[in-house]
Amino acid sequence: MEQFQIASDIISLSDTIMEGLEHIKKRVFDGYFEETYYLLEDIIDAIASIHKATEPMLPLMGENRIEQYAEHLNHLIDEMTNNYQTQRIEKAKTDMQLVLIPAFKEWKNELERCLSDYVAS
């Protein structure tokens, strides 16, 4: 039962992160670049907490690409943080829309697929 609750919480949090990324994208395109940095930091913390929660389950999830997707996502988040620190607003817009959000979706979908298999077992 506990695994089911953890899996459910992880999926719920990943949905919230997705909403947050979409919100940041909209705000950045509307010209509120600096004002979205705190949200990006919250998203970074949330992704880290999902990673921490799923780590003990990974060996039990069978064949998956969660780790590869997570590494890729973390690399992109570092780049996005760098965009903020160096005020590269146009690059941040492009990266958010074409790189970071699609990479997050890929990780989220793999996570959800593996969690639902894990909970079902």
Instruction: State the pTM of this model.
Output: 0.93
Q: What's the pLDDT at 98? A: 96
d(CA 37, CA 10) in angstroms, rounded, equals 23
- Residue 48 is predicted with a pLDDT of 96
Q: CB neighbours of 31 closer than 8 A, spacing ≥ 6?
A: none
Q: Enter the DSSP assignment of 32.
A: -
The per-residue pLDDT string of the chain (121 residues; one tens digit each, 9 = 90 and over) reads 687 888 899 999 999 999 999 999 999 999 999 999 999 999 999 999 999 999 988 888 888 999 999 999 999 999 999 999 999 999 999 999 999 999 999 999 999 999 988 777 7
Q: Is 96 in contact with 21 (CB distance < 8 Å)?
A: yes
> What does the pLDDT read at residue 1?
65
